[in-house]
Amino acid sequence: MNFAAILIVLLSTVIHGNIDKVPFEISPVGLQFIPTDTNDLLTIENDANTIMRCVAQCVKNIACRTVNFDPSINQCSLFTSWSFEGIFYSSSPSSSSRSQIGYIIQQPVFYTSYHQPCILSFNSINRYLQCVNGTWICPDQYFFNGSVCEYWRSFNQLCQTDEWCDSSKYLTCSTFSNTCQCNSSMLWNGSQCISACPPGQTGVTFNDLPTSIIIPSGYGGFQWSNMNACTLYSDQRACNINLNSTSFTRINGTFTLNTLVVYVYSSSVNVTFIGSNMGMIMQSYTFALSNAYIWPLIFNWANIDTIIVESSPQPQIPIINIDNIYITV
**CATH number of the domain enclosing 273:** 2.60.120.260
State how far the Cα of 235 lies from the Cα of 5, in Å rounded to an integer: 46
94 and 181 fall within a common domain: no
Which of left, alpha, beta for 63 (phi over 0: left; psi -120 to 50: alpha)? alpha
**CATH number of the domain enclosing 52:** 3.50.4.10
115 and 100 fall within a common domain: no
11 and 69 fall within a common domain: yes
Top pLDDT among 156 and 69 is at 69
Is 95's pLDDT higher than 70? no
Is 314's pLDDT higher than 70? no
Tell me which of 195, 229, 254 is where a domain ends: 195
82 and 131 fall within a common domain: no
The whole-number pLDDT of residue 289 equals 66
Top pLDDT among 293 and 169 is at 169
Q: Over the stretch 99-157, which tens digit does the pLDDT of each residue have?
A: 999 999 888 988 999 999 987 665 566 888 988 888 999 988 889 999 998 888 888 88
Do the Cβ atoms of 260 and 281 come closer than 8 Å? Answer: no
Top pLDDT among 209 and 315 is at 209
The whole-number pLDDT of residue 164 equals 94
State how far the Cα of 318 lies from the Cα of 179, in Å rounded to an integer: 28
The whole-number pLDDT of residue 120 equals 66
The whole-number pLDDT of residue 187 equals 77
The whole-number pLDDT of residue 160 equals 93
44 and 10 fall within a common domain: yes
State how far the Cα of 138 lies from the Cα of 61, in Å rounded to an integer: 18
The residues that bridge with 109 in the sheet, in sequence order, are: none
| Angle at CA of residue 61, ends 60 and 65, nearest 5° | 110
Q: How confident is the model at residue 53 (pLDDT cuts 50, 70, 90)?
A: very high
pTM: 0.57
Tell me the percentage of the chain whose pLDDT exceeds 90.
36
214 and 306 fall within a common domain: yes
Domain containing 206 equals 202-328
Q: Over the stretch 168-197, which tens digit does the pLDDT of each residue have?
A: 998 999 887 788 988 777 778 788 888 767
17 and 84 fall within a common domain: yes
**How many Cβ atoms are within 10 Å of 188's Cβ, its own excluded?**
21
For the chain, what's the residue count?
329
9 and 74 fall within a common domain: yes
208 and 267 fall within a common domain: yes
96 and 128 fall within a common domain: no
Whether the link from the prior residue into 313 is cis, omega within 30° of 0, is yes
State how far the Cα of 58 lies from the Cα of 184, in Å rounded to an integer: 43
215 and 314 fall within a common domain: yes
Window from 276-280, 285-289, 322-326 with minimum mean pLDDT: 285-289
State how far the Cα of 41 lies from the Cα of 177, in Å rounded to an integer: 34
Mean pLDDT, range 232-258, rounded to an integer? 85
227 and 171 fall within a common domain: no
Q: What is the 3-state secondary structure (H, E, C) of the chain?
A: CCCEEEEEEEEECCCCCEEEEEEEEECCCCEEEEECCHHHEEEEECCCCCHHHHHHHHHHCCCCCEEEEECCCCEEEEECCCHHHEEEEECCCCCCCCCEEEEECCCHHHHCCCCCECCCCHHHCCCCCEEECCEEECCCCEEECCCCEEECECCCCECCCHHHECHHHCCEECCCCCEEECCCCEEECCCCEEECCCCCCEEECCCCCCCCCECCCCHHHEEEECEEEEEECCEEEEEECCCCCEEEEECCCCEEEEEEEEEECCCCEEEEEEEEECCEEEEEEEEEECCCEEEEEEEEEEEECEEEEEEECCCCCCCEEEEEEEEEC
Q: Number of folded domains in the chain?
A: 4
Is 90's pLDDT higher than 70? yes
Q: How confident is the model at residue 13 (pLDDT cuts 50, 70, 90)?
A: very low
Do the Cβ atoms of 210 and 176 come closer than 8 Å? Answer: yes
The whole-number pLDDT of residue 9 equals 42
Mean pLDDT, range 209-226, rounded to an integer? 89
